Amino acid sequence: MNARSTASLVGDTGRGNEAAILNAALAAFGDKGFHGASMRDVARGAGTSLSNLYNYFPSKSRLLAEVLRHANDELVTRLHVAVDDAGDDAVSRMREAVRAYVRFVVDHQLAMVVSTNEVRYLAGEDRERLVVDRDATQAVFEQIVEQGVASGEFRTPFPADAARTVLSALAGVAQWYRPDGRLSRGQLAEQQARYALALLESPLAR
């Protein structure tokens, strides 16, 4: 298995036990998958009892849903900050959104891999909530593409498909990125930004 970033997804902000449980769950799901990981594995990784774990999360499905929610919340926050700090033009906003996404993937690669591979095991309300969260992520890119098409910065005749393709490519980075690879974090972010702008048929403005 390729080496992957295993930085803690949830910081200790006064919720020490919950943060430890969510980070242990991420590690367990990443190592064994949803079906292979047990609640006992998570409790052991968090340094707590199984009964205490169930006080926080009534099921493994709910635990997975919460891990994925935290990952998406962090990603969306980073995207909004990056876009807000970018210039007003669509090219600058798209470049910074892509860079922010790639930086998140590098910082939380394991969370991205789990999000891609294990989401199929969510159902019902847990899955519906995650769909809403992911729609918010997609909306960031769709709005930038719409702006760029309207202004003439992006010449793609397929704006909706192009936005989805950019997102798919960015999510896919988590599957092949290696911390010891030839590209640094910044170089990888710039590479993916150039790919996205080329896909949108935009001049690669510096």
Read off the pLDDT of residues 103-141 as tens digits, 9 standing for 90 and up.
Answer: 999 999 999 999 999 989 988 888 898 889 889 999 999
Cβ neighbours around 181 below 10 Å, total: 12
Q: What is the DSSP string of 177-196?
A: --TTSSS-HHHHHHHHHHHH
CA distances from 14 to 10, 11, 17, 57, 178 (A): 11, 9, 9, 18, 33
Residue 204: strand, helix, or coil: coil
**Mean pLDDT of the residues in the chain:** 91
Segment 159-187 shows an average pLDDT of 94
Contact between residue 166 and residue 98 where contact means Cβ atoms under 8 Å apart: yes
Residue 144: other Cβ atoms inside 10 A: 29
pLDDT per residue as tens digits for the range 36-77: 999 999 999 999 999 999 999 999 999 999 999 999 999 999
Q: Are 192 and 170 in contact (CB under 8 A)?
A: yes
Mean pLDDT on 158-166:
96
Residues near 163 by beta carbon (within 8 Å), at least 6 away in sequence: 138, 141, 142, 144, 145
What is the greatest pairwise CA distance in the chain? 58
Residues 121, 61 contacting (CB under 8 angstroms): yes
Percentage of the chain surpassing pLDDT 90?
A: 81
What is residue 162's three-state secondary structure? Answer: helix
State pTM to two decimals: 0.89
pLDDT band at 194 (very low <50, low <70, confident <90, very high): very high
CA–CA distance, 176 with 4 (Å, rounded to integer): 9
pLDDT value of position 4: 52
Residue with tokens 């030839």: 182
Rounded distance, CA 98 to CA 104, Å?
10
When mean pLDDT is compared across 18-27, 31-40, 147-156, 195-204, the lowest value belongs to 195-204
CA distance 171 to 145: 18
The predicted pLDDT at position 76 comes to 95
